[in-house]
């Protein structure tokens, strides 16, 4: 494996545990519409599927379309943007990991399919992550993951070769994006994996069940 010069992370379910706030947003919309809220277990399995995925988990495809998917998605995101960082926290061990990367002069950044109007203010409320050297959102470019363009863009901003970059994510599209860019890829096993997911089929180079295991591996790889 090539020596690593940078580490890139997915955001929701990899770097940050955003499920509490996204879950509160979808449940606010569901209750407003007269439906039962989602359980925490369902929220954590569905958060990586985005706003529509969360709404679909509560309503199903047919009812979601009947009630107006676009309207409900807007309502969810409006509520979420107003309550962006109440329960959201970096995953256990993540602050220590990124600070260690900074001490090693190894740049780190984020490539996410979260829109920039949510990504940027969220990161601004987490000063412990101020060392993030690049943040690429869903709308930074005309395409998003699993297209490799956001990955190449991030590497260009960091001045590193994708082949010497590790990308860590908790969804198959994250691994596809990293592989499409020729990066070293790792599954964030601590993230929002659906019970139907089988990360062994994603063809990632590495799989870590905890942030601490990733940190340990990075220390050994130096």
Contacts of 74 (CB under 8 A, 6+ apart): none
Spatial distance between the Cα atoms of 14 and 84, rounded to a whole number of angstroms: 17
| C-alpha distances in Å from residue 15, one per residue of 55, 67, 110, 169 | 23, 33, 8, 9
- For 95, what's the count of Cα atoms within 13 Å in the CB-facing half-sphere? 9
Spatial distance between the Cα atoms of 216 and 122, rounded to a whole number of angstroms: 28
The residue among 111, 56, 50, 57 whose CA lies nearest residue 77 is 50
Contacts of 65 (CB under 8 A, 6+ apart): none
Residues marked as catalytic: 10, 12
């Amino acid at each position: 494996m090539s020596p690593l010069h940078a580490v890139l992370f997915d955001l929701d379910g990899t770097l940050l545990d955003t499920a509490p706030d996204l879950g509160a947003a979808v449940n606010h919309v569901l209750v407003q519409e007269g439906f039962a809220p989602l359980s925490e277990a369902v929220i954590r399995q569905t958060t990586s599927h985005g706003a529509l995925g969360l709404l679909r988990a509560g309503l199903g495809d047919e009812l979601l379309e009947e009630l107006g998917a676009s309207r409900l998605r807007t309502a969810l995101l409006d509520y979420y943007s107003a309550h962006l960082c109440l329960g959201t926290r970096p995953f256990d061990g993540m602050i220590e990991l990124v600070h260690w990367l900074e001490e090693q002069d190894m740049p780190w950044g984020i490539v996410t399919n979260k829109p920039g109007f949510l990504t940027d203010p969220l990161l601004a409320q987490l000063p412990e992550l101020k060392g993030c050297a690049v943040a690429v959102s869903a709308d930074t470019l005309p395409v998003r993951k699993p297209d490799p363009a956001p990955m190449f863009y991030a590497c260009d901003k960091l001045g590193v070769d994708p082949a010497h970059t590790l990308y860590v994510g908790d969804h198959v599209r994250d691994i596809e994006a990293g592989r499409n860019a020729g990066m070293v890829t790792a599954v964030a096993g601590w993230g929002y994996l659906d019970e139907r997911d089988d990360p062994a089929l994603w063809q990632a180079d590495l799989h870590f069940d905890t942030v601490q295991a990733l940190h340990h591996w990075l220390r050994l790889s130096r």
